[in-house]
Structure 1
Amino acid sequence: MKKLLLVLLFIGPTVFSQQNLQDRTFFSQVLFEHLSDYNKKADLAYRMNDYKKAKMLFEDFTNNQLEGSYMDNFKFSNLKKKQVELYDYEKPVFLITYSSWCIPSKGEIPALNDLAAQYKDQIDFVVLFWDTRDKAKEMARQFSSNISVVYVDERENNGAYVVKQLKHSLGLPTCFLLSDDKKIMEIRRSVFPALQTEPEKAYRENFIALETSISKNLINEYEEVYAENISLE
């Protein structure tokens, strides 16, 4: 009897963990089922220069289909060439995807650096570049040490469906707010202030938008932060 209990204690967490994974709906699965229909509608809206409709379609697709699913555990590399998995991050994750040819909006990086300093004990901030290591390393100089800068070189990861679709399905840059068990709480596009916007105003627009999303989805301070941000607008 004691031996049986020991066996159950040993295999129990593994079995339950596998069962939990089986019960989840994953990001890649939802994309496979719904991405084609979304792309047809979004492509038509862009061809008609109906950017308001395209924005509405993106929000409808992310809010009603993708959010609530679980992000797949995919692999990427840090700047030391060490392979890392998304599930290695145990805290909630703020993940934003970039590429060297995709310029961050004005004020976005300073806002991210300040938010990472503010919430580093509660959230893992990850900037993912779809690029070579050399280009990611060059861009990483703009980010603080509180942010993990990683990269995916598609030439080395061309077999993973989720890796392909993370880049090609939703565009760049895109933010993914993930709970500690990697449930997708929110997907959002970056804030793009007008080119003539003063740097400080652009920073505030980015900071307020991002902090509101973080406080609403990843920590339990939404009401307090929202009230403070409204007073600053």
Structure 2
Amino acid sequence: MKRLLSFLLIILVTSVFAQKKYYNQAVNSCAGKSSDELIDKCIKDSYLLNYDFTTDESKVISTKDIKRPIVILAAAGWSAPCIGQIPALNEIVDIYHNDIQFIMIFWDKKGKIERFKSKVDSRVLLVPAGDSDKVEKGNLDISGFVHKLDYPTAYLIDKTKKFVDVKRGAVIPSKTVTREEANETNASDLEAFIQQVLK
């Protein structure tokens, strides 16, 4: 009887793990889908594989070693919303840096992210595109992490490495939106976004 129960337990555990979908496979299997379909049907509920990100200071950060929720922000130096969201990001990082690991991956190479480095809170890990990374306007592959959405995009990953949500875009100042209003909206949106993994 013990052997039968052990055998059934092994089959159950194997089938549970076999059903787990991982981020890159999920994204690559959804080629041709709209951004909303990619997020809702492919990214959400997938799991983060281990990625070894090399920061702008040449330090390797392995996602498997991060034991708290993670926010991966995809950014590009040519994107006004990416630059515009920095004050709100800094405000949120100042409050939640002990609870969440913030990682910003870039479309840009190391030499092109200096203006981000001087403005972004130092507790955000900055990961520029390396020489072997694939960088195209509609596709980014940083250390194996594939990004196929617009800029900025924030990926919210819980402690179990499951993708909980994806947030796209940021408010920028305009004729109808002041800088203060944009910062306030961006901070409020980002805080609501990360609250999902802090409950």
TM-score, normalising length: structure 1: 0.68
Distance in structure 1 (CA, Å) of the matches to 2:133 and 2:85? 28
Match among 161, 174, 180 for residue 195 of structure 1 = 174
Aligned to 2:4: none
Aligned to 1:228: none
1:133 aligns with 2:110: yes
Counterpart of 1:212, as a letter, is A
1:143 aligns with 2:125: no
> Percent of pairs identical after alignment?
21
* Residues 107, 206 of structure 1: 8 Å contact kept: no
Match among 46, 70, 90 for residue 69 of structure 1 = 46
Q: Give unmatched runs, 5+ long, in structure 1.
A: 1-17, 39-56, 221-233
Query: Which of the two has greater helix per residue?
Result: 1
* Residues 83, 116 of structure 2: 8 Å contact kept: no
Match among 190, 194, 197 for residue 214 of structure 1 = 194
Counterpart of 2:185, as a letter, is E
In structure 2, the CA distance between the partners of 1:61 and 1:157, relative to structure 1 (3 Å rule), is: closer
Give 1:68 deviation, angstroms: 0.3
Counterpart of 1:30, as a letter, is A
Q: Give unmatched runs, 5+ long, in structure 2.
A: 1-13, 135-139
Distance in structure 2 (CA, Å) of the matches to 1:79 and 1:108? 20
* Residues 71, 157 of structure 2: 8 Å contact kept: yes
Q: For this pair of structures, how many residues does the alignment match?
A: 179
In structure 2, the CA distance between the partners of 1:20 and 1:132, relative to structure 1 (3 Å rule), is: farther
Aligned to 1:124: 101
* Residues 106, 129 of structure 2: 8 Å contact kept: yes
* Residues 81, 172 of structure 2: 8 Å contact kept: no
Q: How does 1:34-49 map to 2 (within 5 A)?
A: 34-36=30-32, 38=33
Give 1:113 deviation, angstroms: 0.4
Give 1:30 deviation, angstroms: 1.3
Larger Rg: 1
* Residues 94, 126 of structure 1: 8 Å contact kept: yes
In structure 2, the CA distance between the partners of 1:105 and 1:132, relative to structure 1 (3 Å rule), is: closer
Counterpart of 1:213, as a letter, is F
Query: Which of the two has greater strand per residue?
Result: 2
Distance in structure 1 (CA, Å) of the matches to 2:109 and 2:83? 24
Moved over 4 A (4+): 18-23
